[in-house]
Amino acid sequence: MARSKNDGVKRIVIMILLAAVVVGGFAMIAFRNKPDNTAASTLTPVDEVLARNLDNNYPATPKEVLKYYSEITRCFYSEEYSEEQLSEMAMKSRELLDDELKAQQNDTDYLNDLKIAIDLFKSQNRNISSYSVSSATDIDYYRYENADWAKAMCLFTVREGTRMVATQEEFLLRKDVSGHWKIFGWRIYDDDEKDE
């Protein structure tokens, strides 16, 4: 009788150990396949810019178009990236341009000119530290020659060595046949012009 009692205890211990191994195995698999939330928080600004799919997620308003364009521009002049990432960002920025503006330069020339501008900017120890786009209520909408237009301002703050310089640019956007706002052009805004 004593022997069968020991056998029963051994069986229970073995079953508990087997159950622990099985549960432990499932726990290891579950933790291994658990999504890593830290990966999302370690995306660089360049990664975030490149992650946007403009075919499925085109900015809906002139303000959103300019915010995205300005973030790409800030990345050009202030972030680290590979040649491939630069090329991808350049193509993203061109997707935001009106067809008439894009037609003035092919993709290769645009990228080459962009590289020259970036090199010159960085050689002067400059970077874009921030930007601010007009509030939605400050955007001027109008209709001209059967097209919808919008005018908006963007303020870029540029660090030159130890000093900060603000540059305000006025952007003109036109809605295309798909209903997307595209950048038609821009210029440095001069406060004196509004007094004339």
Provide the CATH number for the domain around residue 137.
3.10.450.100
- The answer as to whether 120 is a domain residue is yes
pLDDT tens digits, one per residue of 147-162: 999 999 999 999 988 8
pLDDT for the residue 137: 85
**Within this chain, do residues 94 and 8 fall inside the same structural domain, yes or no?**
no
- The answer as to whether 79 is a domain residue is yes
Confidence of residue 76 (pLDDT cuts 50, 70, 90): very high
**Within this chain, do residues 23 and 69 fall inside the same structural domain, yes or no?**
no
Domain that holds residue 143: 59-195
pTM of this structure: 0.75
- The answer as to whether 110 is a domain residue is yes
Q: Is it the case that residue 195 has pLDDT exceeding 50? A: no
- The answer as to whether 50 is a domain residue is no
- The answer as to whether 143 is a domain residue is yes
Cβ pair 186, 170 in contact under 8 A? yes
Q: Is it the case that residue 123 has pLDDT exceeding 80? A: yes
- The answer as to whether 114 is a domain residue is yes
pLDDT for the residue 162: 87
Burial bucket for residue 152 (CB in 10 Å: 0-12, 13-18, 19+): buried
Write the CA distances from 46 to 9, 53, 71, 77, 191, integer angstroms. 62, 14, 9, 11, 33
Domain count across the chain: 2
Cβ pair 131, 157 in contact under 8 A? yes
Q: Is it the case that residue 37 has pLDDT exceeding 60? A: no
pLDDT for the residue 6: 66
**Within this chain, do residues 18 and 68 fall inside the same structural domain, yes or no?**
no
Percent of residues, the chain, with pLDDT higher than 90 = 64
